[in-house]
Amino acid sequence: MSTTRIPFVDLQAQYRPIRDEIRQALDRVLDSTNFILGEEVARFERDFAEYLGAKHCVALNSGTSALHLALIALGVKEGDEVITTPHSFIAPAEAISYTGARPVFVDIETATFNLDISKIRAAITRKTKAIMPVHLYGQPVDMVRLMEVAREYCVPVIEDAAQAHGAECLIKGDRWKKVGTFGDIGCFSFYPTKNLGACGEGGAVVTDSQIIFEKIRTLRNHGQKDRRYYHPFIGYNYRMTAFQGAVLGVKLKRLDAWVAARRSRAALYDEGLRDLPLKIPKRAENLRGAYHQYVVRTEDREGLMKYLGERGIETGVYYPLPIPLQDAYRHMGYKKGDFPSAETCAKECLSLPIYPELAESDIRYVCSGIRDWARSK
Ligand SMILES: Cc1ncc(COP(=O)(O)O)c(C=O)c1O
């Protein structure tokens, strides 16, 4: 057994250099005794919208709430259909189910782990009320291509960018645009391990639509619009706490540098894993990932995981079973073989450690571990 330990995530390493600033921000909230929404959250909303290049942001208590309110704001309800991916954390499918609508799963591309855009047209019916792509692992869906399909059928798009703060797609010329700002609504999670993580739960929606913005702002606060204790419709308690707004404000200033550090670490992995019997993430000229995760594929996933584990390298499997094959969705009647690419990825994907503070020497150690594993086979 090795004495080296490379954790899969290391939030301590992120916290150490910003400890004082975080504590000052938390103190500010304590001193204000203004614990819910308020100026800390409003400031973060302005800053996050500006960071992304969106007109509006509504801060919420989780990414799941963001997806849920986005669907309600678009009027999605029982009997409707929403197209989404079978290979993801379950939240997007759950949010669709909360509304009574039916998730329609379209298989992914194994090379990108994301929705296969060429298969979306065939899944659109008169009942389709939205398309919900997920920028999984921080790898952007090609939103320029996806929006062409959505516009052709006049179907609104909700982007699940929970894992993709800072990921970008190339639009005209040399202009890059951040994911979450292509569709009608972009949804983000600030779960602590995300590229931008709170010290607790958090989420947000962004939109350019004044109408959607006002609707979601009202929905997050029990349906109260202009006057307190007057409720034009039934809403939710999905508000962000001031502590999270304050913490996120501190971290947002570092997000660009953190995303750049993730990219440079991903490039080191690309280089170190080249020519191995292992599929590494696809890079496209027009997409810039945010590398929430660095995910490789191999048929001997369990063997590689064990081999690296014995060398003190933590890895993870995101996600081991496609959503339609989960017991939670058994009632929909899907069976093995319905989503060949998602099933392959669920069997073969392995996430390696990646975070801004991960040392280059650690990446070299992981790569040499993988080289040794390949040689030992
Ligand atoms: C792709 C994706 N969508 C949605 C969510 C839900 O976010 P939250 O945990 O903040 O509710 C997550 C969180 O893990 C996620 O990874």
Nearest alpha carbon, ligand 1 atom 2: 162
Taking each helix axis from N to C end, the angle separating 360-375 and 242-273, rounded to the nearest 10 degrees, works out to 50
CATH of domain 255-375: 3.90.1150.10
Nearest Cα to 183, choosing from 131, 114, 242, 250?
131
Ligand 1 shell residues, CB under 6 Å: 62-64, 88-89, 91-92, 134, 160, 162-163, 189, 191, 203
Q: How far apart are the first and last CA of the chain?
A: 20
Residues 52, 61: Cα–Cα separation, whole Å: 19
Residue 101 tokens read as: 């609508």
Please give the number of the atom of ligand 1 that sits closest to the Cα of 135.
1
pLDDT band at 173 (very low <50, low <70, confident <90, very high): confident
Is it the case that residue 13 has pLDDT exceeding 90? yes
> How would you classify the pairing of strands 128-132 and 81-84?
parallel
pLDDT band at 22 (very low <50, low <70, confident <90, very high): very high
Q: What's the length of the chain?
A: 377
Nearest alpha carbon, ligand 1 atom 12: 162
44-94 pLDDT, tens per residue? 999 999 999 999 999 999 999 999 999 999 999 999 999 999 999 999 999
- Among 68, 82, 163, the mutation site with the greatest number of ligand 1 atoms within 8 A of its Cβ is 163
Residue 71 tokens read as: 């669907």
Mean per-residue pLDDT for 212-228? 95
Mean per-residue pLDDT for 250-271? 98
CB 350 within 8 A of CB 317: yes
Is it the case that residue 291 has pLDDT exceeding 70? yes
Nearest Cα to 316, choosing from 363, 353, 270, 265?
353
Please give the number of the atom of ligand 1 that sits closest to the Cα of 203.
10
Residues of CATH 3.90.1150.10 domain(s) within the chain? 255-375
Please give the number of the atom of ligand 1 that sits closest to the Cα of 190.
10
> How would you classify the pairing of strands 203-207 and 56-60?
antiparallel
pLDDT, averaged across the chain? 97
Per DSSP, the residues of 71-93 read: HHHTT--TT-EEEE-SSS-SHHH
Measured torsion, CA atoms of residues 85, 90, 93, 95, in degrees rounded to the nearest 10: -140
* Helices and strands: H and E segment counts in the chain: 11, 12
Return the pLDDT at 226.
82
Residues of CATH 3.40.640.10 domain(s) within the chain? 12-250
Residue 89 tokens read as: 């954390």
The alpha carbon of 2 and the centre of ligand 1 are apart by a number of angstroms equal to: 33
Return the pLDDT at 40.
98
The alpha carbon of 311 and the centre of ligand 1 are apart by a number of angstroms equal to: 30
The alpha carbon of 188 and the centre of ligand 1 are apart by a number of angstroms equal to: 8
Is it the case that residue 2 has pLDDT exceeding 80? no
Instruction: State what percent of residues in the chain have pLDDT above 70.
Output: 100
Nearest Cα to 344, choosing from 368, 375, 321, 311?
321
298-346 pLDDT, tens per residue? 999 999 999 999 999 999 999 999 999 999 999 999 999 999 999 999 9
- Among 9, 64, 241, 292, the mutation site with the greatest number of ligand 1 atoms within 8 A of its Cβ is 64
Q: Does domain 12-250 have CATH number 3.40.470.10?
A: no
Enter the pTM of the model: 0.98
Instruction: State what percent of residues in the chain have pLDDT above 90.
Output: 97
Residue 274 tokens read as: 């080249």
Mean per-residue pLDDT for 276-294? 94
Is it the case that residue 154 has pLDDT exceeding 70? yes
The alpha carbon of 89 and the centre of ligand 1 are apart by a number of angstroms equal to: 7
pLDDT band at 28 (very low <50, low <70, confident <90, very high): very high
Return the pLDDT at 1.
62
CB 334 within 8 A of CB 325: yes
